[in-house]
Structure 1
């Protein structure tokens, strides 16, 4: 049997509310422009033909409660509060009616974005990787099982910066619903347990600076919190 040349870190584990076990993260998918008001504030229109995505490495994950370094290479890092779906079964080429059977649970997440690098990539029609996929760029709160959370409806989603509410919306405002997202994404990927889907952010995104304390909340879920420290 071939031996590895070196060891790599184990998959990160997201805490589960009321459970001693952790949820191992395999991949992170993110939905772009899934709230019309956010698309408008960024000078874009929602593509109503189909959702679109970008990805983050599992090792971009950061757990709630951490103090993280201000990201390297940027002078304009933004917060984006999101409802996160955790997959619990395989889903490939599934219908919207079948999609929710593959969901394990939900959590609060914050997508950090190096907005200046993302903007530069957009201007040159290049991928967004430098703007989106970097250390501590996918912050996660503890997960809650699907049955305990209940149906996705008009639950409030909000993010506060140093106690001031910056983002405030309802899950019902998503352009693409969770079943629609899973069914569409499963046309292109074999979704499986360990896959997280960040479902998009509402209006109110904005810059963070060292010293900021972020707190994201969604009705029925444990909050996600992070402190922005000095530069990396």
Structure 2
């Protein structure tokens, strides 16, 4: 199982991090190891190597068919479930790595940094590119987005990724985060929603 993620896929989030409106010409892809996966409502323990762990709320789709070099027009056939996920990022490490021009793996791929909720069928929605999603912390909405605002749509991303990696059943695609990322702290409760359905619920410890 692979965890594939897209960076810089919402324009306002790019501006939030870099103070400029970065519009990448192609999807920005990074990977997380399978040890990054956290599911079933298990708690997230803040690691001791970072003092600034940020949540990044995302739509996550699960690959349902084996595929390579998938044309964009057929990409919708390769997933049938979606959920809300959290791409936890050690922001202090990320800044340091970016400044030195080094890879991002340790700030993005550490253990339990890829949280996923309960998957729901995508046919429940009229259009995967018109889904509202949001994150509540301790009952307060802190981040929200709509998949219509993606710079690269789900089917485009799948077509692009499959040029380089064979997609396998069970692979997970984190599709990028909208504006509104922020830090987490011990004792908080995080709840993620697709439209108004709660699909994610876990604690920070």
TM range (shorter): over 0.9
Are positions 1:190 and 2:163 aligned together?
no
Aligned length: 204
Normalised TM-score (structure 2): 0.94
1:158 aligned to 2:146? no
1:40 to 6, 9, 15: 15
| 1:1-232 correspondence runs (5 A) | 26-43=1-18, 44-219=20-195, 222-229=198-205
Superposed CA deviations along residues 33-87 of structure 1, whole A, max 9, x for unmatched, are 1111100000154343101111111121111422221122000000010000100
Instruction: Return 5+ residue gaps in structure 1 as ranges.
Output: 1-25
Distance 1:113 1:142 in 2: 21
Say which structure is richer in helix: 2
Asked if the contact 2:68/2:162 (under 8 Å) is kept, the reply is: yes
Deviations 1:156-185, CA, capped at 9 Å, x for gaps: 111111122111121111111001100111
Structure 2 residues not aligned, in runs of 5+: none
Q: CA deviation at 1:209?
A: 0.9
Which whole-Å CA distance do the structure 2 matches of 1:174 and 1:139 have between them?
20
TM-score normalised over the length of structure 1: 0.83
The CA RMSD over aligned residues, in Å, is 1.5
Pair 1:224–1:82, CA change in 2 (3 A): same
User: Are residues 220 and 158 of structure 1, via their aligned partners in 2, closer, same or farther at CA, if it must alter by over 3 Å?
Assistant: closer
Larger strand share, 1 or 2: 1
**Divergent runs of 4+, >6 A:** none
Higher radius of gyration, 1 or 2: 1
